[in-house]
Amino acid sequence: MKELILGIDEAGRGPVIGPMVICGIVVKKEDIPELVQIGVKDSKLLSPATREKLKKMIEKIANKWELIKISPSQIDEYGMTYLHLKSITQLINKFCPQVAIIDCPTRWPNSYEENVRALTKNKKTKLVVENFADGNYSIVAAASILAKVARDEEIKNLSLRYGQIGSGYPSDQKTIEFLKKCLRKDSQLPDIVRKRWKTIDRVKMMLKERKNKNE
């Protein structure tokens, strides 16, 4: 039997707008060097055009892959930690790999590995849970690329519907201006926004301070 390796990473954990996308990609151990050969690396180090190009090549090398998209409303209701853990174990239980390599979303990899192990059905699956795994393992980097391309596509589609929303990250001034516009208009935020994010409180405070200044 060929040894199957599962790499898991996400895109969109920090934004205030749009979904978080988690990707699980399965590659035969013998095919992993091909990922290195085609130039796979952490998606944050690649341009959008390069990610798009690599996506097609990765999909040809991969045995299987799956994307899980988690909406802002789900994040508001259940919280990021629970949904992230649930999605990771869902991918492991579906693919049943010999090895699963996970980019740890917390600063405590050992503790997170215990949580994943508790929810993993096949106890024989070897778990590798590390911070910055997308920079150390090409298969995790491949997962980060597929997740990032999928999230970018989601943001592009949302922009066509809602107008200029920026990247969705709190550091993006276009995103902040979009939030201000929504709150000024009717005090309502659309479903594409993570309403429990601290960014929302910050924007509301900014608007309140400006209003008081003008009165």
Contact by Cβ (8 Å): 109, 130: yes
Measured CA to CA, the distance from residue 155 to residue 16 in angstroms comes to: 12
Tokens standing for residue 53: 């190009």
Taking CA atoms, 119 is separated from 69, 88, 142, 204, in Å, by: 20, 10, 24, 39
Q: Which domain holds residue 170?
A: 162-207
Number of separate domains in the chain: 2
CATH code for position 105: 3.30.420.10
CATH code for position 200: 1.10.10.460
Condensed to tens digits (0 to 9), the pLDDT of residues 112-170 reads 999 999 999 999 999 999 999 999 999 999 999 999 999 999 999 999 999 999 999 99
User: Sign of the C-alpha dihedral, residues 13, 80, 24, 88?
Assistant: positive
Measured CA to CA, the distance from residue 99 to residue 32 in angstroms comes to: 13
Helix (H, G, I), strand (E, B) or coil at 16: coil
Condensed to tens digits (0 to 9), the pLDDT of residues 57-105 reads 999 999 999 999 999 999 999 999 999 999 999 999 999 999 999 999 9
